[in-house]
A and B are shown apart, each in its own frame.
Chain A
Amino acid sequence: MSRIEVKEEFKQLFYEDGRINYKLLAELGREDPSIFESVGRSIISRFLPRRGVDFNIKLKGRVELREGEKKITYTLSVCPECRSLIKAIVFERDGKVLIRKYCPDHGEFEDIYWSDAEFYYMKRREAADGRGILNPYVGVVNACPFNCGLCVRHKSHTALLNLVATNRCDLSCWYCFFFSERAGYVYEPSLEHIRYMLEAARKARPIPAIAVQITGGEPLLRDDIIEIIKIAKELGYQHVQLNTTGIRFVEEPELAIKIREAGVNTIYMSFDGVTPITNPKSHWEIPYILDALRKAHLGAVLVPTVIKTVNDYEVTKMILFGLKHNDIVRGVNFQPVSLVGRIPKNERNRLRVTIPDIVNRVEEETSGMIRKEDWYTVPFTIPISEFIEAVTGKPQFTMSNHFACGVATYLFQDQKTGLITPLPKFLDVGGFVDYLKELTEYIRKGGSKKLALLKLLAKIGKFIIWEHTPEQLKKRKRIYWMLFNIFARHNYHALGEFHLNTLFVGMMHFQDEYNYDVARIQRCDIHYVSPDGRLIPFCTFNVFPEIYRDRLQKIYSYSIKEYLEMNRLKSMSQIKYRRNIRKLESTELYRKTYEGFWDPSRLSYEEKKKISIRFGIPVIEQ
């Protein structure tokens, strides 16, 4: 690490290797929290990626199309070999959308972008841009995406802020390089530092961050997690989400009640399948985690990372599992795998899953019950924000991701018949949004806001397709009154009630160096707050860890030795989780949770043990 030039007054804070003496900074921050901002701003220019060292710009040359290929759009990408900004083309071939890029030094790279061109064109119509931010934290020094912080080029405000509370973890998953022992340091910002970071994101204009996800490592390893949640609530975050494996709830179920009472709205947790083969990370613990959340009345979103040939054959089962536990599971949010590191083309083709692969598989496996046209992209919701903005005259929270980043739908299951109905089957969502656009235009041209609202209320019923509406929503015209309450009375309690009866199913495809598209990054609305106060889009923070995530966290870290001494620990492995498969499988709760999905007798105990150990979780007998 190069030496960091810092102001004279902060020099005592830095070690020779450029790392901050975090113990000292945390102590000073307890007395004067403004030091976090002063230190961050004083060294920010040194943290930004440097051209010629961290990246290059190589825009010479053209990316050519071949016979049978049709251009969709030109864009910019990065070279997976030298991390240079290079030219790319998104094109159609054999009914698929691909991205090809050209580096003058390393040649051509090609990867699948969306596996269904027809679906791509259908969803592209929903594309729309947001308004970005008024008060960029960094100036324009480098080319995008090597200038993150955010800068004036960014087109979306923060919709979900990620706060890394620690890089310690009680698991050691084989594929992860992020946790403290492998990273070689402990990143764990103090409470005062966390307050500064959360405040920094609240200062963004015109729309401050209102939703935060506390993540890690494993955030539940922090003894002061309740304080962190309370700080977020105190600063005005309306939605607080905790990204956890939930494994700590197995031994300490009352912790779920405590974090719900402190202000957590949702638990966001990894769930890669319904069997131990597909979900070696938490298969045995899931029944107990869901039970703890049930008792705490705390909803969960299951988050499967989908990999072709590994667990893609279980996507529909995972949705059905979510519906089975819909009393506590609020959503299933699939994440098609992001292929990190150098991976040969054949191997990428074997593992790569894109959004349409999941959509088409679900349609096929549900015999058309959940159709392709039932999915909508994230920016599809922009006209709703624009309508409310036109009515209230105030800038509104807008989800303006690139359309190719994600899609979602809502499912409603009839409690008597078990029939699954996606929301677009009983609500003409497209027609409704088109009508909102029309009304927004009417208000913008000087039309009466009251009249626009009256028109909307008079017409709401026309967008409901009563013959397909599930019985529970048909009774006393519940669906009508729900929409009426949301748009006429701005009563979001009705929306909450709707969520309780439905399953959100979404997908968010994070990028990697092979399918990287700068047009997507400039629209990202899922940001990390860094220890120096910058807001960094998800797919730059994690795709270029050496110049964003790891660089920043290493500078603001404790050495392992320092951390062990401070906490009187002998080794970091003291916090590691060890699994008792026999005990976890022995209960009625385990059997009932997986009833209809998995028969534990299909694998021998030795096979199960091997699965757990190979994944990185030791097994104990007692």
Chain B
Amino acid sequence: MKHYSINLKYVNNYHNYQFDMAGYIYIPSDGEGYKLAEYIECEPDDDFILYLEKYFTEYLRRITYNDIVFADEYELKLGCVDLDSGYIVHVIDWFKPRIEKYIHIMSVVDNNITTEYLSFEDGINRLKELDIVLPGNNRA
């Protein structure tokens, strides 16, 4: 199981192109949850921009269509738990383009990826159904 949190700022609009990424990596702490292991600040990896656009552009537009103008200015905090069972859970705090909290559950089984984008409340219920416990008792 991996657990990390990332602060991400991605701007790709008329007036700017900017990509800042900084985050924390946590490691299990003797059955007592997780402890902070490392703070990282990095240049974007060539692959990461594609990853970001692949998952977040689509996701963002699905949840905001007809609601906001399509600005590509994201600021978010991503808490990620990568479970040995094949589930990857993102708890996402959006700061831009608007303040929202969502849960993104990905399941990787035999290289087939399925994803669910859910509101925070629906996400917590879905995690319970799947019997997934996040660090912090699903309070993310």
Tell me the A residues contacting B by CB distance below 8 Å: 57-60, 73-76, 87-88, 124, 127, 129-132, 134, 139-144, 152-153, 155, 402, 518-519
Contact = CB atoms under 8 A, between A and B. Distances in A.
A131 B70 contact: yes
B17 A60 contact: no
Contacts of A142: 50
A47 B81 CA distance: 35
Interface of B: 12-19, 43-44, 46-47, 49-50, 53-54, 57-58, 61, 65-66, 69-71
B51 to A, nearest CB: 10
A57 B49 contact: yes
Contact of B53 (A58, A88, A144): A144
B17 A127 contact: no
B111 to A, nearest CB: 15
Contacts of B47: 57
B65 A134 contact: yes
B70 A58 contact: no
Contact of B16 (A73, A88, A124, A143): A73
Nearest to B59: A152
9 closest A-B pairs by beta carbon, nearest first, are: A74-B17, A57-B46, A140-B54, A152-B58, A75-B17, A73-B15, A143-B50, A127-B14, A155-B70
A223 B61 CA distance: 45
Given A73-B15, A124-B14, A402-B14, 5 more contacts: A57-B46, A57-B47, A76-B17, A153-B53, A519-B13
Given A57-B50, A59-B44, A74 B61 contact: no
A139 B65 CA distance: 17
B12 A76 contact: yes
A74 B16 contact: yes
A141 B49 CA distance: 12
B53 A143 contact: yes
Contacts of A155: 70
A88 B17 CA distance: 9
Contacts of B46: 57-60
Contacts of A519: 12-14, 17
26 contacts: A57-B46, A57-B47, A57-B49, A57-B50, A58-B46, A59-B44, A59-B46, A59-B49, A60-B46, A73-B16, A73-B17, A74-B17, A76-B17, A87-B17, A88-B17, A127-B14, A129-B14, A129-B71, A131-B66, A131-B69, A132-B70, A134-B65, A140-B57, A144-B53, A152-B61, A519-B14
Nearest to B46: A57
B139 to A, nearest CB: 31
A87 B66 CA distance: 31
Contacts of A144: 53
Nearest to A130: B70
Nearest to A400: B70
Most buried by B among A58, A59, A132, A141: A59
A140 B54 CA distance: 5
Contacts of B43: 59-60
Nearest to B13: A519
A153 B74 CA distance: 14
B54 to A, nearest CB: 4
A262 B43 CA distance: 58
Nearest to B44: A59
A58 B17 CA distance: 15
Given A59-B44, A129-B69, A152-B61, A143 B49 contact: yes
B19 to A, nearest CB: 8
Nearest to B69: A129
B58 A140 contact: yes
Name which of A57, A88, A124, A134 has the most chain B CB atoms within 10 A of its CB. A57
A57 B51 CA distance: 12
A59 B19 CA distance: 10
A139 B53 CA distance: 11
Nearest to B55: A140
Contacts of A127: 14
B96 to A, nearest CB: 15
Contacts of A74: 16-18
A130 B61 CA distance: 13
B61 A132 contact: yes
B15 to A, nearest CB: 5
A105 to B, nearest CB: 13
A575 B43 CA distance: 57
A143 B44 CA distance: 14
Contacts of B18: 74
A142 B50 CA distance: 7
Nearest to B11: A74
A123 to B, nearest CB: 12
Contacts of B61: 132, 152
